[in-house]
Amino acid sequence: MNKKVRFEDLGLIDYKKCWDYQEALFAEILAVKSSNRKDKKSDITKNHLLFCEHPHVYTLGKSGDKNNLLVNKEYLEQRGATFYKINRGGDITYHGPGQLVGYPILDLDNFFTDIHKYLRLLEEAVILTLREYGIKSERSKGETGVWLDVGTKNARKICAFGVKSSRWVTMHGFALNINSDLSYFGNIIPCGITDKEVTSLENELGKKLCINEVKKKLKIHLVHLFKMDLFYNEKDI
């Protein structure tokens, strides 16, 4: 099993451009698996971990309700935001500057073939990262993501998840609010959940954080939990 994972920090990147890049990496892995099965080969499949930020954008998962977008196209244009209906699970969410988005494109045959375990480990990496900042977070039963004050009137989400998996290959991922402009969440019903708010590290701690510092901490936890052998793209060295 190949546990080597190529890490790339793409910085601030257009959502569609990054989505196309994900799709290309995803298709490449699936093609190797298909060839292995067809020709009875055992070629190694690659794994990738992408970190990035996006300009203001709303994305709607394949099972989502477009009515959870509360504004029209003209208003989105005024706010400098775009909208895409995409092929991940989940409902609607927002991405924007100050939010750390992670896209693990992994062949889970290299790790474990359990999509629920995969999601729980992603959540755990975020929970452990937030703990380093003195923030107690947890899962909320029946709701994906990482939350604060679960079971109270003040329950709020700090990290959203939405993934796609085919033949144990994953794409899409998570979005952790660090220094996000939370006003953009007011244009949607986030993840289709009407009775809970969203928050960010900045909102909880009362100060802006160094996103690169958060990236480093989260990356360490992902490597440990997934037992990854991480290596870097040349442009990140």
Q: Which range has the worst mean pLDDT, 15-29, 44-58, 59-73, 204-218?
A: 59-73
Per the domain annotation, does 191 fall within a domain? no
As a whole number, mean pLDDT of residues 45-58 equals: 96
Residue ranges making up the domain that contains 223: 4-52+92-182+196-236
Query: Does residue 150 form part of some domain?
Result: yes
Q: Is residue 217 part of a domain?
A: yes
Q: Between vectors from CA 86 to CA 62 and to CA 202, what angle results, nearest 5°?
A: 105
Q: Is residue 69 part of a domain?
A: no
Residue pLDDT, tens place only, 134-176: 999 999 988 889 999 999 999 999 999 989 999 999 999 999 9
Domain assignment present for residue 35? The answer is yes
- Residue 217 contacts residue 230 (beta carbons within 8 Å): no
Residue 213, domain member (yes or no): yes
Q: Which residues are catalytic?
A: 191
The 10s digit of each residue's pLDDT in 209-234 is 999 999 999 999 999 999 999 998 65
Q: What angle do CA 146, 150, 154 make, to 5 degrees?
A: 110
Please tell me the total count of domains within the chain. 1
The span from the CA of 225 to the CA of 205, in Å, is 26
Give the pLDDT confidence score for residue 236 in this predicted structure: 43
Average the pLDDT over 187-204 and give the result: 79
Instruction: Give the pLDDT mean for 63-84.
Output: 84
Domain-embedded: residue 216: yes
Cβ neighbours around 207 below 10 Å, total: 8
Residue 224 is part of a domain; what is its CATH number? 3.30.930.10
